[in-house]
Amino acid sequence: MNKLPNKKEETLGGYIVHGVPFPIETDAEGLAWLKRMTPIQIEQDYRITYLHSYAQDSPWFAGLTNKKLLANQDIESGYTYANPRGHDMYSGDETVWIDITEREAAIHAFTVCHFGSEEFLPETPFILALIEFEGVNTLLLTRILGLDPFAADLDWIGMEVSPKFLRNSKLKPTDVYFTPK
């Protein structure tokens, strides 16, 4: 039987209060009472809009917009990164772009997030996975669709998957996701 919540979620917000209890007289007795008062807590809003540059990694995002999954490779060694990476961590040399859209891919590790950060709470439960690609030395973090998040199973590891691309690109790494083949 599913366990139902037995505690109401606490949230900020409520009445705006003007004025708080304070001694009528600031005599010795009144001032001594101040050491016993409960703390005043207020809400402070904090909003920021950043202008974020993908910089040298921009082609990777441009690739997703155009339904291509790019990777970076060190020419000399052939060491290949599924994530965008401008320089190879071993040779220190600049990497080149390659297309891995059609490579065989499989789930290397996964989880089902039943909770999440505030930004992603409305999307729970969702499946996060690390994908391994044929001939690629590192993994890629992504979302998996097409599997039941309430039936998580270790046997999902090793499952062959293929990339799907959003038609309406958001210029985010979630422009690509993977589904079972």
Q: According to CB under 8 A, which one of 98, 126, 165, 166 is a site residue for another protein?
A: 126
Minimum gap (Å) between residue 154 Cβ and another protein? 6
Laid out side by side, the sheet with 80-81 consists of: 80-81, 70-73, 96-99
- 85 contacts another protein (rule: CB under 8 A): yes
Residue for token digits 């040298």?
A: 56
User: At a CB cut-off of 8 Å and minimum separation 6, what does 166 contact?
Assistant: 64, 174, 175, 176
Task: Please pick, from the candidates 98, 106, 128, 166, the single residue that binds another protein as defined by CB under 8 A.
Answer: 128
Q: Which of 70, 71, 100, 140 binds another protein (CB under 8 A)?
A: 140
Nearer residue to another protein within complex by CB, 27 or 49: 49
Indicate the residue among 28 and 55 with the shorter CB distance to another protein.
55
46 belongs to the binding site for another protein (CB under 8 A): yes
Residue 115 CA to residue 10 CA, distance in Å, equals: 16
Site string for another protein, 49-68 (x = CB under 8 A): ---x-x--x-----------
CA dist 165 and 143 (Å) reads 12
User: Cα dist. 97→39, 54, 106, 171 in Å?
Assistant: 57, 15, 21, 18
Check residue 87 for interaction with another protein (CB under 8 A): no
> Do the Cβ atoms of 144 and 127 come closer than 8 Å?
yes
| Distance in angstroms (rounded) separating the CA atoms of residues 107 and 154 | 10
Q: Where on the chain is the footprint of another protein (CB under 8 A)?
A: 3, 10-12, 38-39, 41, 44, 46, 52, 54, 57, 81-85, 89, 108-121, 123, 126, 128-130, 137-143, 152, 154, 157-158, 172-174
